[in-house]
Chains A and B, each alone.
Chain A
Amino acid sequence: MTDWKTRQNNDGGWAYDYSVRQARGGCSWTEPTVYVLLAQAAAERDGASFAGGVRFLSSIARSDGGFSPQPGVEESTWVTALVALLPEEALGAQQRHRAITWLKGVTGQESGWRYRFQQWRNGDPQEYPEGWPWFPGAAAWVTPTSMGILAFERALRRGGADSGLEDRVQSGKKFLLGRMCADGGWNHGSNRALGRDGDSYPETTGIALVALNGVGGPQIEKAKAAARRHLTTCRTAEGIAWLRMGLAAHGEKAESAVEPVCRTNMDTALMAMASAERNLATDARG
């Protein structure tokens, strides 16, 4: 059992790194803080520590409804989707609603009307399913799109039917399937460059599989095979944890022969989440 309190900053949040970084006063970030809270929620919760983490996140909620990745950053970003994955009692209905509303208004730049119009004028009929960018104003990528899908699925489960959310979930899944690498997995979303296939990564393959929970068919079978393949060679905690969660989202319990070194708070939290019965996909689907 990880003693999350000893790794926690005074502001209630957690830094990415806890070794060298903590000794040098590493600052709290939204992403590791959310994963630590999800790990605590999935395993054993330390009430005071958990409340401190929630307090940190509330302190960096922005007036537009989104969340910034770090207190010093003045823009809401993709981490808003992560915050929306927290348990009901942590975030509060109003803040969750505002976060989901913010996410509704964000898409990859390539699926915005301006870019589509430009492409249409250039005779490009290609369709650009709506995903989510890491940072507003950039293109959609696999990880933020996966987290957006999971956040919207969770909101649908809690709030009932909403065609706007459902459309974005379907579009996001279409985006992911369109960005699958030739080897069956995913990298960050650049599956071909200069006519050559890009290689997939373990962590992004696992993340995409989590977001594609409930989807079946030959593409998913190919993706699961890629995940199993990655699991035999992957040595990183982040990669192994996401691969296990990805396969678990499709009903497959998988283990790695490797006992990875957990170098960061993210690593430790993700490994704890992977080991728990509950995971992001089952939580999102209810």
Chain B
Amino acid sequence: MHADKHRSPLMTRRQVLGAGAAGLALTRCGRAPQVAARKFPVSSVSIVKASGYTMDVYDTVYRMIADHSLDVRGKRIVLKPNLVEYDANTAINTHPTIVHATFEAFRKLGAADVRIAEGPGHRRGTLDLADAAGYFSTVAKFEEQFTDLNTDAVAKRTIVEPVSKLKSLYLPHTVLDCDLLVSVAKMKTHHWAGATLSMKNLFGLVPGAVYGWPKNVLHWAGINESIVDLHHLFPKQFAVVDGIIGMEGNGPIQGTPKYAGVLVAGSDPAGVDATCCRVMGIDPKQISYLQMARGVENLGEGAFRQTGERIASVRTNFELVEEWKGIRLG
């Protein structure tokens, strides 16, 4: 396994336990099941340059989503941002302007209902967190448009053919009942998974009020494996990744902001994430959850139809911590 090759020297078991949950998870995920050789249809991934979080970005996001010809008229859409910490001045959270632009784009495309929904994995006061991150000041009547997925009513869903040790998960009604789940993620490096993009962002769907903070059952079941299981539970997805200012180094929280000036979007989250990896100078074939979701043979550059900018024209190598240096794209 490519990623295992880079994971193994990360920490000793003693260090792992000192690190808490995420560390505990590593002791459990020594396996990365091979995806049976399977062909996936070539999906379309948009790469669009965006210089900053300005008013222009509203039109950019609208055109980028409209290019995918989604029929969302009359549909219920849930936007899932990556909301992590109380700080509007870092690159930890999906920028509120991108969330709002996506919100407005789906409304303009005729969606019957667009909700923003998130269940942060570290901090409990979700509304306080959203306020501090600038969501209240950016999205009018934010509280009315928002659902805290940590405390939403839940239903149990069986995971058919699980990759992780999970057999089932309780999940919020708001996401189970929607017609399209849109992961509005941040482009960041991740010290346990290599990169966190639209697929890893789905951890925030898992209700903290059932599983706690952090959502440690996912760590024990295997971080990468759980990402894949969550991805499979939601077959109708769209992904928008905010890479205008991402995070490099010791992400997803303690890293440093990295300007990449790019937005990436598409209906195939694995394709979007693989493309983001290339933009970040990371080999997607070395990311365990992408391997498991698609198989290495379906992660080549030719497996996706890139529209807009060419990867080479927007590639910006994100700094990698020592333990992940080996995933650098050649």
Q: Which residues of A contact B (CB under 8 A)?
A: 15-17, 19-21, 26-27, 29, 31, 69-70, 72-74, 77-78, 109-110, 119, 122, 124, 126, 128, 133-135, 137-139, 141, 143-144, 179, 187-196, 198, 201, 203, 235-239, 261, 263-264, 267
Interface membership of B311, Cβ < 8 A:
no
- Give Cα A140 to B143, complex, Å: 33
- Give Cα A60 to B295, complex, Å: 44
* Closest beta carbon of chain B to A216's beta carbon, Å: 25
Contact between B250 and A196, CB atoms less than 8 A apart: yes
Chain B residues with CB under 8 A of A195: 15
A-B contact pairs, 18 of them (CB 8 A): A16-B151, A17-B127, A17-B151, A19-B143, A31-B209, A69-B210, A70-B209, A73-B170, A135-B216, A138-B21, A138-B216, A138-B220, A143-B212, A188-B20, A190-B214, A192-B18, A198-B20, A267-B125
The 9 residue pairs across chains A and B that have the minimum distance between CB atoms:
A134-B212, A190-B20, A16-B151, A138-B216, A193-B19, A236-B128, A27-B153, A263-B127, A236-B125
- Give Cα A193 to B22, complex, Å: 8
Contact between A72 and B156, CB atoms less than 8 A apart: yes
Other than the known A17-B148, A70-B210, A192-B18, what 13 A-B pairs have Cβ atoms closer than 8 Å?
A17-B151, A20-B143, A70-B154, A72-B154, A73-B154, A73-B156, A134-B211, A135-B216, A137-B220, A138-B216, A143-B213, A190-B214, A264-B127
Q: Which residue of B19, B154, B216 is within 8 Å of A133 (Cβ)? A: B216
Contact between A188 and B209, CB atoms less than 8 A apart: no
* Closest beta carbon of chain A to B251's beta carbon, Å: 11
Chain B residues with CB under 8 A of A74: 156
Q: Which residue of B19, B128, B156, B216 is within 8 Å of A238 (Cβ)? A: B128
Chain A residues with CB under 8 A of B214: 188, 190
Contact between B153 and A193, CB atoms less than 8 A apart: no
Q: Which residue of A29, A124, A194, A237 is within 8 Å of B19 (Cβ)? A: A194
- With A139-B216, A141-B216 known as contacts, the answer to whether A192 contacts B19 (CB < 8 A) is yes
Chain A residues with CB under 8 A of B153: 26-27, 70, 72
Q: Which of B18, B124, B220 has the most CB of A within 10 A?
A: B124
Chain A residues with CB under 8 A of B178: none
Chain B residues with CB under 8 A of A139: 20-21, 24, 216, 219-220
Interface membership of B29, Cβ < 8 A:
no
Q: Which of B15, B132, B155, B209 has the most CB of A within 10 A?
A: B209
Chain B residues with CB under 8 A of A134: 211-213, 216
- Give Cα A74 to B101, complex, Å: 39
* Closest beta carbon of chain A to B235's beta carbon, Å: 23
- Give Cα A190 to B214, complex, Å: 10
Q: Which residue of B20, B146, B154, B220 is within 8 Å of A189 (Cβ)? A: B20
* Closest beta carbon of chain A to B121's beta carbon, Å: 9
- With A16-B148, A124-B14, A203-B124 known as contacts, the answer to whether A138 contacts B209 (CB < 8 A) is no
Chain A residues with CB under 8 A of B296: none
> B195-223 vs A: 1/0 string, CB under 8 Å?
00000000000000111111011011000
Chain A residues with CB under 8 A of B128: 235-238, 261, 263
- What residue in chain A is nearest B211 (Cβ atoms)? A135
Contact between A15 and B151, CB atoms less than 8 A apart: yes
- Give Cα A31 to B208, complex, Å: 12
> B152-165 vs A: 1/0 string, CB under 8 Å?
01111000000000
- With A124-B14, A126-B14, A189-B20 known as contacts, the answer to whether A78 contacts B212 (CB < 8 A) is yes
Chain B, 264-281, CB within 8 A of any chain A CB:
none
- With A70-B210, A238-B125 known as contacts, the answer to whether A21 contacts B151 (CB < 8 A) is yes
Q: Which residue of A109, A133, A236, A267 is within 8 Å of B212 (Cβ)? A: A133
Interface membership of B314, Cβ < 8 A:
no
- What residue in chain A is nearest B155 (Cβ atoms)? A72
- What residue in chain B is nearest A194 (Cβ atoms)? B191
Q: Which residue of A141, A190, A239 is within 8 Å of B22 (Cβ)? A: A190
Chain A residues with CB under 8 A of B209: 16, 29, 31, 69-70
Chain B residues with CB under 8 A of A239: 125
Interface membership of B323, Cβ < 8 A:
yes
Interface membership of B17, Cβ < 8 A:
yes
Interface membership of B89, Cβ < 8 A:
no
Chain A residues with CB under 8 A of B17: 110, 119, 124, 126, 128
Chain B residues with CB under 8 A of A179: 20
Contact between A196 and B254, CB atoms less than 8 A apart: yes
Chain A residues with CB under 8 A of B323: 194
Q: Which residue of A21, A191, A238 is within 8 Å of B124 (Cβ)? A: A238
